Amino acid sequence: MGSGKSSVAKKLAPLLNLPILEMDELVLQTTHTKNMQEVFAKGGEFLLRETEIAIAKRYASSDNLIISTGGGVVLNKIVLDYLKMNKGKIFFLNTAFQTIARRLAHDVVRPLFKNRQEAEALYYFRQPLYVKYADQVIEGDKKSVEEIAQEIVDGK
């Protein structure tokens, strides 16, 4: 949440000449909602996570595709297993909580960021999982979106 996944995906796509799949957008389409607040109102986090599983399963056999996931997919090994099928690579944009909080300060459509203390606790709970499941950890605080995308292309 707020690490720059979508921004990096948009820069990466033309460099690799690949299409982008925005998992959060597919969640909204699949659940017939307008934003994550509606997803949570409709079925809570359970609906979000089950929909992410269905989407990951649907695209598991696809290749040559950039998938920008929601921040919570790391909580579900089923999703991660689907994403790693067909030689999929997972990149973790390691971004400090303070940077994320600054980026999301005025974003009102993030249900899991309504309470800063809870969001920070969630961040520190997820952090080791991101590192564990990533094929590559990329430091995201002091690099531009373009530098991060190029690092992925270069395989550094």
Q: What is the CATH number of the domain that holds 17?
A: 3.40.50.300
Does 108 score more than 60 pLDDT?
no
Tokens at 132, concatenated:
């564990």
Q: Does the structure show a pLDDT above 90 at 113? A: no
pLDDT for res 12: 95
Residue 121: which pLDDT band, with cuts at 50, 70 and 90?
very high
The rounded mean pLDDT for the chain is 90
Residue 52 is predicted with a pLDDT of: 96
Q: Please give the tally of structural domains in the chain.
A: 1
Can you give the pLDDT at residue 110?
A: 63
Beta-bridged to residue 137, according to DSSP, are: 92
pLDDT at 1 over 80: no
Specify the pTM: 0.85
Looking at residues 48-52, what average pLDDT do you find? 96
**For residue 136, what are its two tokens?**
């590559």
Which amino acid is present at 85?
Answer: M
H or E segment at 139?
strand 136-139
Longest dimension (CA), the chain: 42
Q: Please count the other Cβ atoms lying within 10 Å of the Cβ belonging to residue 56.
A: 24
Output the six-digit token pair for 7: 């921004």
Q: What is the mean pLDDT of residues 54-75?
A: 92
pLDDT the model gives residue 112: 61
Structural domain including 143 reads 5-154
pLDDT at residue 101 in the model: 84
CA distance 125 to 72: 11
